[in-house]
Amino acid sequence: MVDNPNEAPSEALVSKIVSMPELVVEYEETKGLESIEEPEKVAGLAEDAAPQPDATLEDEEEGKAAYRPGVYHPVYIGDIFNDRYKVLNKIGYGRYSTVWLVKDLQATVDGDASNVYRALKVLRADCYGHGTDTFEREILRCLRDGSREHPGYPYVCHLIDDFEHQGPNGTHVCFIFELMGETLRSFGTWFLLDGKIPYEIMLRFAIQLVLALWYAHDHDVIHTDIKPNNIFVKFCDYSFIESGYLKEIPVPQQDREETEYRPVPSQPLRWFYFDNRAKYSPDFDITLGDWGVSSWTTKHLTEVIQPVLLRAPEVIIGAPWDASTDWWNFGAVLLEVFRAVRMFDGGVPPDGHYETREHLIEIIDFFGPFPKKLLEKGNQDLVRDLFDDEGRIKDAEPSEGPGLMSETITTGMGQSLREAFVSFMNLLMKIDPEERPSALDLLRHPFLGAIQ
């Protein structure tokens, strides 16, 4: 770890970080392309790990009511899927799937547990075949079968296998993935920095996310849902599955004769994927996962995308959007995971409920007025109601909020790091999507310094 985490890393550390982006230079030239409290449990490879508000011990996680025709498949420990994958425990769940630790019964056992243990994601029956199909399977296949020479390929959570499973509630599309340790939603809690990920690790993660999005966009895919719990930390040591997880984590008791299926609690792999004595090592890697609501550049799954507070300006006002929306989304997430600060709130008194108007005021306070040419492409009823002739919000109070250069937002940073970070954010988060940078622009920026 560097002596001062608020300043530039040491030369030795830079050499480790820049070893990935050196591949970027080679690719560009040859292809010619112009925190320690126990955290809440998170769902590995599932869409939304937030606990259900009405969940109880009797109504675990996704809830008993969701086990009905067209929705979730009842999975039991010991089930074998596709004549190959044996279920060992539940490791996550989301609005559209449950996720299970499985053992590949056809894997070659040669002491390398990475080939033996996988994650099984079982989609709800209504994800396919009901007229509103997600593009997830097709996009995952495209990303897996794309250019392995691309520097972003290793930082996408790739599909290993897919198949369909027939159950009492319908036909379920199933995915097999490489196991992941946890998501950035909880990763920061390993460090004694108020939940902030150390600079040298965050820099590495930021570079890897840029590479992952570059790869996706080069393959005509827009993620549309970049948030901390869709960014996964890779396994560092698979031996902990057998030596730790399978020995220490209890297997849930289930009754196959029950008349009503009872969901079981998730037991994430968070504590069993690296030696926490080495948590300050800069050698962690991440992948961008959960492509369940992703779109093609040529065909959108839906026009209303992204987590509300991470939503790009063009999406908020109902204007057309493209792959550049991912860059805005990435910028807002970067501040959240790097500094444990949410850039936007959108809350209004007295109860703090969200309002679009307030969100737009916050965006303008940080990044300036909306350009006329963008407003002309948006929902004209909304534009006339909210915006004045200068691209600002009508009757908005003068800004009293802190700017990006303030200690409140970029807390704990030294001056040189703060200036580089704010410059990077201003480049990344252009209100006009046509002005947003390319992946190479970002990799060349001094904050990342990935291409020298």
Instruction: Report the binding-site residues.
Output: 121
50 contact partners, CB below 8 Å, separation of at least 6? none
Q: Strands, E, within 324-420: which ranges?
A: 347-348, 353-354
Q: 417: closest CA among 427, 403, 407, 429?
A: 407
Helix (H, G, I), strand (E, B) or coil at 181: strand
153 contact partners, CB below 8 Å, separation of at least 6? 146, 147, 215
Q: What 3 state SS string does 134-174 have?
A: CCHHHHHHHHHCCCCCCCCHHHECCEEEEEEEEECCEEEEE
Task: Give the residue ranges of the annotated binding site for ATP.
Answer: 121
Q: H or E segment at 381?
A: helix 380-386
For residue 334, with 0-12 CB atoms within 10 Å meaning exposed, 13-18 middle and 19 or more buried, which class applies? buried
Torsion of CA 270, 273, 277, 283, to 10 degrees: -110
CA distance 452 to 446: 9
